[in-house]
Structure formats: C-alpha cells, structure tokens
Amino acid sequence: MFQVILKAIARTLTLEENCFLNEHGEGAMTARFNFYPSCPTPERVFGLKPHGDGTTITMLLQDKEVEGLQVLKDDNWFKVPVIPHAIFVNAGDLVEIMSNGIIKSAVHRVATNSDRERISLAVFCLPNPDAEIGPLNELINADRPQMYKKVKNYSELFFQHYQLGQRPINTVKL
Ligand SMILES: O=C(O)CCC(=O)C(=O)O
Ligand SMILES: [Fe+2]
C-alpha cells in the first residue's frame, strides 16, 4: 500500500510516478502496537513526545473511540479526529528529504487521557538500510537548491536523536 501512496505523492508533484519508489527500493515494513494507559495527570504526561517519524510513510490505525494524536502546524497543536477504521497516513522524514522539503514530515505527539486507555497500530515503511536516500534531482533547481544531504540507514540516526529529544532531520539539512 505504501507504494500506492508514494506514487500518488509523485503524481501530485507532477513527477514520473515511480520516482520515489526507485530511490526507496522494496524496503521493509515494521509494525508497532502503542498502548497508552489512562493517566491521572494528562496535562503533565505525554503518551508519546513530539517527533517526526523517521520513515518514508507511516500508516496509523488509531483507537476507534479515544483520541490522543495531535499534529503541529504553525506553532499550534491540532487534534486528529477519531474516524473508526480510517487509516491515517503520515509522510515521514524520508519523504521530506526525497521531496527536497516540499512535502513536510509533520511533528506530532500523543496526549494521555485521565479516564480512558488508548491503543493504536502504526506501520512504518522504511527503505533498505543500504539505500542512499536524497532529494530527487527533478526537485533541485536554482530556486530550490538541494536542502538535505543524502542519508543511509536513517533509522539509526533517528533513534540516536530521538532519545535526546532532537529532530534528526535538522542534522542532515544543508
Ligand atoms: O498512537 C498514535 O496515535 C501515534 C503513534 C506514533 O506517532 C508513532 O508510533 O510514531
Ligand atoms: Fe509518530
């Protein structure tokens, strides 16, 4: 399914539909269930701290009753509504890099809830660890010079910085 999404993004940018997939290769998908217990002090405790995903694409099945996911836009946090059985698609840092910054990897976080627990299922799409991922040549020009270095095995960089509360994408900006 992520292939369909990457093709759709390419078409949106009026590019050849396989251009992102050619960079990405077959890649790998990992899945994680997130369980957020109820928390008596939600104003003081995050379920998941603010981060951008270190993926190409993340597909997320949210809890069908309990909200919690919030996305940062223009310095404001917006709640993602609960839509039962809908899949929330998030562009990760690697799409931001490949698109030379045109598609943004949204910073998001998860709030806790004082009386309800919450569960979600995230599927993370990643390129092969040895694939070199960089801005597409088609998206580099005089008006928009190359904005990111090429990266390899971004997951490793991601986790090093995540622990420190930093965004790894800031370390590969030119
Ligand atoms: O639980 C959620 O709604 C979001 C999970 C998430 O952002 C993640 O696993 O990276
Ligand atoms: Fe995330």
In whole angstroms, how far apart are CA 149 and each of 54, 116, 172? 15, 43, 5
Q: What is the pLDDT of residues 131-163, one digit of tens each?
A: 999 999 999 999 999 999 999 999 999 989 988
Q: Taking residues 124-134, what's their average pLDDT?
A: 92
Q: What is the pLDDT of residues 60-97, one digit of tens each?
A: 999 999 999 999 999 999 999 999 999 999 999 999 99
Query: Taking all residues of the chain, what is their mean pLDDT, rounded to a whole number?
Result: 95
Among positive and negative, which fits the CA dihedral 6, 54, 67, 38?
positive
Write down all domains in the chain, each with its CATH number in brackets: 27-172 (2.60.120.330)
Q: What is the pLDDT of residue 138?
A: 95
Residue 117 alpha carbon to ligand 1 centre in Å = 14
Confidence check: pLDDT of 1 > 90: no
88 Cα nearest atom in ligand 1: 3
108 Cα nearest atom in ligand 1: 7
Q: pTM (2 decimals)?
A: 0.94
* Residue 49 and residue 167 in contact, taking contact as beta carbons nearer than 8 Å: no
Q: Cβ atoms within 10 A of the Cβ of 150, count?
A: 13
Residue 74 alpha carbon to ligand 2 centre in Å = 18
Give this complex's ipTM: 0.99
Pocket of ligand 1 (CB under 6 A): 32, 34, 48, 53, 60, 62, 68-69, 108, 110, 120, 122
Q: What is the pLDDT of residue 59?
A: 97
Q: In the chain, what percentage of residues exceed pLDDT 70?
A: 100
